[in-house]
Amino acid sequence: MAVRGTRTSRPVRCKSLVALVALVVACSQQPAAPAAHRTGPQTLNGKIGAAAYLIEVPAQWNGTLFLYSHGYVTPGGANRAQDAPVPQARTWLLGHQYAIAGSSYSRTGWALEDAFRDQVALLDYFSGHVAMPRRVIAWGASLGGIITAGLIQLHPERFAAAMPLCGVLSGGIATWNAELDSAYAFKTLVAPRSALQLVHISDANANLNLARSLFTPAAATPTGQARLALVAALIDLPGWFDPRQPEPAATDYVARAAAQRQWESLVDFTFAFGNRRELEQRAGGNPSWNAGVDYAALLARSPDRAEVRAMYTRAGLDLNRDLRTLNAGASIKADPSAAAYLDRYISFDGNLAVPVLAMHTTGDGLVVPPNESAYADVVRGAGKAGMLRQVFVHRAGHCAFSGAETVVALQVLLKRLDTGEWDAAALEPAALNAAAVAQGSEMNQLFGLDLVPSFAPFIPAAYPRPHSKGSPIPA
């Protein structure tokens, strides 16, 4: 595999690092380990094969490396290496003598197969060109969350711990089955005679544009609004879209349905009707199915069922009739080899060998919070519940964490590694929020917004159609 790289030195920004240390000293975990590598601050970047990489090492590295996996890149989009989710986290880690690294992936899209190979190649490169890490912590956001969980499942010997942020932790098959459920319900109830393609998509852009053109008139009528609420409820889209606004009340069904429509049209449709094409090309066919799915049962388990009933009543529609229509037409079957590919890259077995701390916003409509339920269930089933902890931030948005919230979660995970036990008190929302406040105002920002730390008690709903490693794939 071809390796090309450059090495540069970076002066330490003394003032900012001193201020940062002062802000977090009260929340520090354990004293840093003796420096394992002393060469001065350095940045390495280049390519390993087709994947770009970025490595940053502080002046007196403490021996711990954080390997970051970035999120989904739209097919054909700019594909660059990242080594941290937000600048504040990067600054904190380097200021506390942690090395950080991250790879782009050899291809864009649903790039798990590439990411697993490219990230391990970067670990090998780091060991050969910097030093052997004392321990490696995997972390990543969104698609990088599923990559993080996949890395510790496939290569447990290479990692000491993991922190998936807003991760796609239901696994590949469950995720794309959910996308199919929402797409199928939309076409069947809103545009049954349209040319909209659910699987075997021939032109991603044309298909997505058609879906959006069908959505707009439907969203303008009570009938369409009711049916779009059902589409949202089948996959538990949150009724909260704008993090600058408070969450609508649980019984404000009109406002919650409006927020769900924003998630559908502005975010989820891109994957369901467009990006699926890249997945199918990668997998060699359609990996998803809905044959035999009982959509009435899915709605009955949804936390949004009361909203759907209210919206249907408001529109004068027969909900049971629409559910019967959905059940009658549910006949899509997966291509077996494509489903097997998606199961490989990846479904989860829950057999954790290292501690994992996962973090999610409660109002995430791209990677819905029930992903955490799916992961917790397989971990519990494998008898490894003691290895997993999950924390939630009460905020709308996908991966909408401040630098402070990210850092205090990292501190909890580091303390778990240093002591061998989870600090139950530190995991309490009030303690996490107090620790985040102590990071200072600059750390409590995201994209220019001042944020109040918002860790909160939260139990996500069950994942609508979970699929763990080894579960049968219908023929």
Q: Where in the chain is the domain with CATH 3.40.50.1820?
A: 3-170+348-450
**In angstroms, rounded to a whole number, what is the distance separating the alpha carbons of residues 43 and 328?**
58
Q: What is the mean pLDDT of residues 14-36?
A: 31
Buried b (16+ CB within 10 A) or exposed e, 417-439: beeeebeeebbebebbbebbebb
For domain 3-170+348-450, give the CATH number: 3.40.50.1820
Provide the H-helix boundaries in 264-318: 269, 276-283, 295-301, 305-315
Other residues' Cβ atoms within 10 Å of the Cβ of residue 213: 12
pLDDT at 47: 97
How do residues 341-366 score in pLDDT, each as one tens digit? 999 999 999 999 999 999 999 999 99
**In angstroms, rounded to a whole number, what is the distance separating the alpha carbons of residues 377 and 168?**
14
Structure tokens belonging to residue 287: 């990996």
Q: What is the mean pLDDT of residues 189-208?
A: 98
Q: What is the mean pLDDT of residues 400-425?
A: 97
| pTM higher than the cut 0.75 | yes
Strands 51-57 and 99-103, bridge-based pairing: antiparallel
Cβ-based neighbours of 166, under 8 Å, separated by 6 or more: 141, 142, 145, 359, 360, 361, 364, 367, 398, 399, 401
Structure tokens belonging to residue 329: 């037409």
Q: Confidence class of residue 27 from pLDDT cuts 50, 70 and 90? A: very low
Q: Confidence class of residue 33 from pLDDT cuts 50, 70 and 90? A: very low
pLDDT at 39: 56
- pLDDT value at 377 more than 50: yes
**In angstroms, rounded to a whole number, what is the distance separating the alpha carbons of residues 456 and 161?**
23
How do residues 224-234 score in pLDDT, each as one tens digit? 999 999 999 99
SS3 content of the chain, % helix, strand, coil (to 5): 45, 15, 40
Cβ-based neighbours of 378, under 8 Å, separated by 6 or more: 348, 349, 350, 466, 468, 469
What is the dihedral sign for C-alpha 233, 169, 188, 74?
A: positive
Instruction: Give the residue from 460, 401, 396, 392 showing the smallest Cα distance to 429.
Output: 392
pLDDT at 19: 29
How do residues 181-191 score in pLDDT, each as one tens digit? 999 999 999 99
∠ CA 345-346-348, rounded to 5°? 160
- pLDDT value at 145 more than 50: yes
Collapsing DSSP states into helix, strand and coil, what is residue 340? Answer: helix
* Cis, bond preceding 346 (omega within 30 deg of 0): yes
Contact by Cβ (8 Å): 161, 355: yes
How do residues 307-320 score in pLDDT, each as one tens digit? 999 999 999 999 99
- pLDDT value at 198 more than 50: yes
**In angstroms, rounded to a whole number, what is the distance separating the alpha carbons of residues 33 and 356?**
21
Which residue is listed with tokens 């594909």? 79
Instruction: Give the residue from 406, 420, 404 showing the smallest Cα distance to 139.
Output: 406
Q: What is the mean pLDDT of residues 285-307?
A: 97
DSSP element (H, E) containing 321: helix 319-329
Angle between helices 403-419 and 87-95 (to 10 degrees): 40
Q: What is the mean pLDDT of residues 379-392?
A: 98
How do residues 112-137 score in pLDDT, each as one tens digit? 999 999 999 999 999 999 999 999 99
**In angstroms, rounded to a whole number, what is the distance separating the alpha carbons of residues 31 and 54?**
27
Collapsing DSSP states into helix, strand and coil, what is residue 301? Answer: helix
What is the dihedral sign for C-alpha 258, 264, 265, 267?
A: positive
Residue type, 220: A
| % of residues, the chain, pLDDT over 70 | 92
Q: Confidence class of residue 17 from pLDDT cuts 50, 70 and 90? A: very low
**In angstroms, rounded to a whole number, what is the distance separating the alpha carbons of residues 282 and 205?**
17
pLDDT at 426: 98
Q: What is the mean pLDDT of residues 247-270?
A: 98
Q: What is the mean pLDDT of residues 412-432?
A: 98
CA distances from 54 to 35, 135, 263, 311, 365 (A): 21, 18, 33, 50, 30
∠ CA 108-110-111, rounded to 5°? 60
